[in-house]
Structure 1
Amino acid sequence: MKVIKRNGLVQEFDIEKIKLTLERVSDEVNEPFTKSDIDNLTRAIQKAVLARGKEYIHSFEIHTIVVDELKSAGFIHIAQAYDDYQRKC
C-alpha cells in the first residue's frame, strides 16, 4: 500500500514510522506505552489501514485511524497529543 503525503509525495506504508511517533508522543506526555500496548495498537492500526483495501491511502486517513484507535484503547491524552503533533508537522 502506498501513502499519499500532505506534500503530494508517495511512499510505502510503514507501520514502524507510526510506532516510533506513538512512542515519542507517549513519552512526551509522560504516559509511556508498555510493549504490549504498542504491539496491540500497531497491529490494530495496520489492520484498519489494510482493511481499506486501497492501493493508495492519504496520510490524513491514517491520522484519523491512529487517533480513533488510541481513543478506543483508552489513550485519550496520547490521542490528543498525537493529533497536535501531526498537525504541527
Structure 2
Amino acid sequence: MQKSEKPCDLVSELYWLMRKAFEGRLEEIGITFLEFKALIHLGEARTQGELLKAMKVSKATASKVLRSLENKGIVERERRGRAIG
C-alpha cells in the first residue's frame, strides 16, 4: 500500500512524528504530554475549573494530572475550597 501524498495527510503525519519525538523528550525529564500541557496553563489558571477549560479535558483528567504533578514535587496545590494555588 502506498502512503498518501495529500498535503493534509503529510501535515498530519509530520505532526504525529514531531509529537512522538517531543513526548520522548518529555519522558526523559519525567513528565507526560498532559502534565506539560497543564504546566503551560497553570500560569493563568487559578482554579482547577479554569485549568480543565484551558486544557479542554474532563474534571477527572485535570485532577489526575494535578495529582501526578504534585506527587512528583513539581507543583504544590493550596486547597482553598474549590480554588487551587
Q: Kindly name which structure, 1 or 2, has the bigger radius of gyration based on alpha carbons.
A: 2
Looking at secondary structure, tell me which structure has more strand per residue: 1
TM-score by length of 2: 0.29
Q: Looking at both structures, which has the greater relative contact order when contacts are Cα pairs under 8 Å and sequence separation is at least 6? A: 1
TM-score by length of 1: 0.28
